[in-house]
Structure 1
Amino acid sequence: MAKKPPRILSIAGSDSSGGAGIQADIKTIAMLGGYAMTAITSVTAQNSVGVQAIAPMSGSVVAQQIASCIDDIGVDAIKIGMLHDAEIIAAVAEALEDVSVPIVLDPVMISTSGSALIDPKAIAALRDMLFPRAALITPNVPELSHLLERSLGTSLEMAEGAEELANKCGAAVLAKGGHTEDARIVDVLYAPDSALGARAVQFEHARIDTPHTHGTGCTLSSAIATLLGHGQPLEHAVRLARNFVLRAIEEAPGFGAGNGPLGHHAVRSLN
C-alpha cells in the first residue's frame, strides 16, 4: 500500500488571480506531494497590479472550516497566512488550541504590490495569540521591521531582528531578505531552542531579475509546512522549500502587467 500524503491545512486568504494565498498554497502542497485542505479567511479581488477589494470571513466561519478539516481528515502540518482582523485571529487561535502539529506562520501584512492586507489593530493580536503557537514564523524585512518597530536595511540588521523576534515569541524565525539593500538575497533562520541550542543558519542566492514574484512568501511558507508534514527537519525543510520557490520563479509564465505569478506547475526538481 502506498504511503499516504501528509495532510496540510492552509489557513489563508483567497487570491482571485491565482498567484498567492490559498491558490498558491494548494499548488505548492500538491506539487510537493501533500494533501491540501483550506480554511479561507478572506476573499480578495486582486491581480498582478494590486488588490482591488477584500471581504473577510467571520471568525466563526473560519473556525468551522478548520474544525471540519481536522475533525474528519486530520492534519500533519498547518500553514497560516493572511488573517485580516483580530476576530479572525482569535477564532484561529481557539480552533488550534489542542492541535499539536507544526505550524508555519507567514505574518502577511502587505502584498507584493504594496497593498495592506491586515487591519493594523490586529497585529498585536497576531503577535500575542498565534506567534507562541508557531514552530516557524516567516516575515520579510518590511514585516519584521514593523513587528520590531524599527528600520532594518541590511542582512546583518535583519539577522539581529530575527534573533530578537525569535527570543521574544519562542518560535524559530526565518527572516526573508528580498527587500534588503544587499547585492545578493540572504535569508536567515534563527532557532532559539533547537536540538543544538540557539542556532542561526544563513541561506544565500543571487537575485533573479524578474517582476514575476507574486506569491513568493505564500509559496515558501506552504512548501515548508508540507515538507515538515513529510517529516523533514526544519533546516532541511527550509532549504528545500527555498529551492522550490527559486525554481518556480525561474519557471514563471509571465502573466499579468505587474508582479506576475510563479510557475509552480513547472517545477521538476528541488536541486
Structure 2
Amino acid sequence: MEIQDLLSQTSKLPNVPDVVRELVVALNNPNANYSDISKKVSQDQTLSLKILRLVNSAHFGLSRKVSSIDEATVMLGMQRLKTLVIASGFAGSVKEVEGLDIKQFWSESFRVATLARWFAEKTDKVDPDIAFTAGIIHNIGRLLLHLAQPNRAKAIQTLIEESNVGRTEAEMERLGFTSQDAGKALLDMWNFPSELGESIKQHKKPLAHTDAQPLSAILNLACFVNASVREKRDEESVKESFPVDVALLAGVAPDVINELGVALTLESGLESLAE
C-alpha cells in the first residue's frame, strides 16, 4: 500500500475550514494579516459559536460575557485566540470515525498540545504557538488511516493487542509506512509549514534522525508526559524515566525534571471542542 492511496480519497480527508488552514500557514509569517483572518472566523458561524462557548466557559474566567470574535480578540489577545481557532477547526473536522473514540482522540491531542506549549515556553528554540499546533495534529496520520482505511486500522490494532508489538512495528508490517509518515504527507499536501510535517514524522524517535528538529523533541516530551498521565504513573517514576537527551535536543534544561509534577496536572480546558 502507498500513502497516496490514503490521500487520494479526498472525500474521506478531515474537513478542516480554510480559515484554519490559513492560520496554520501564517504561524511562521510575522507579517500575517490576523485582522483579516479574524473576520473570516466571524463569518464561519459554526466555528465562531464553538469558540465563543469555550471563551465564556469557567476555564477562562473572564469578567464579562463575550459575544463576538472581535471581543474575544480584545479579551484574550490574538495569540491566544488563534490557537483556539486552530484547535476548534481540527476538532470539528470529522464527526465520527470508525474504530476510534474521537472524543478521547481529541482530548489527548489537546493535552499533548498544552504540554508541548508548556515545554516550548522553556526553550528559545521552538515557538510556543507552533508547538501547540503541532501537538493538536501530531496524530493526524492515525486519524487519516481510520478515515480512509478503517479495516486496516482495525487490523493494526488487533496485531498490537494480540502480538504485543508497538504501533510503529505493526503499521510497518500492515502498511509499509507509519501513521507519522502519512501525517507528514497530508500536511505537505495542505502546504503547511515544513517544520510541522517534519516534526510529526520524527517525534516518535527524534534522536534517530540526523536532521532532528527541536520541535519533534518537544512533541516527544509532550507525548511522554501524556502517556504517563494516561497510564496513571506516579511522579517519581516519571522523573526516573524522563528522556533527558530528548530535552537537550529541544533546548529544555534538564532541571525541568523538578517541574514535572506541574506538567502531570496540566489541563487543556478544550475538551468541549470535541463534543
Establish whether TM, by shorter chain, passes 0.5. Answer: no
Higher RCO structure (Cα 8 Å, ≥6 apart): 2
Q: Greater strand percent: which structure?
A: 1
TM-score for the superposition, normalised by structure 1: 0.29
Q: Greater helix percent: which structure?
A: 2
TM-score for the superposition, normalised by structure 2: 0.28
The structure that has the greater radius of gyration is 2
